Amino acid sequence: MAQDVHHTRYCQTCGTPVTDGPVGGYVCPQCYRVEEPLLADLARKEWRRDKKSRIAAARDIWEREGLLSNE
Q: How many CB atoms lie within 10 A of CB 18?
A: 21
pTM: 0.49
Per-residue confidence (pLDDT) for residue 4, from 0 to 100: 59
Angle ∠(28,19,13) on CA atoms, nearest 5: 35
pLDDT tens digits for range 4-59: 555 578 999 999 999 888 888 899 999 999 998 888 889 889 999 999 999 999 99
Per-residue confidence (pLDDT) for residue 1, from 0 to 100: 47
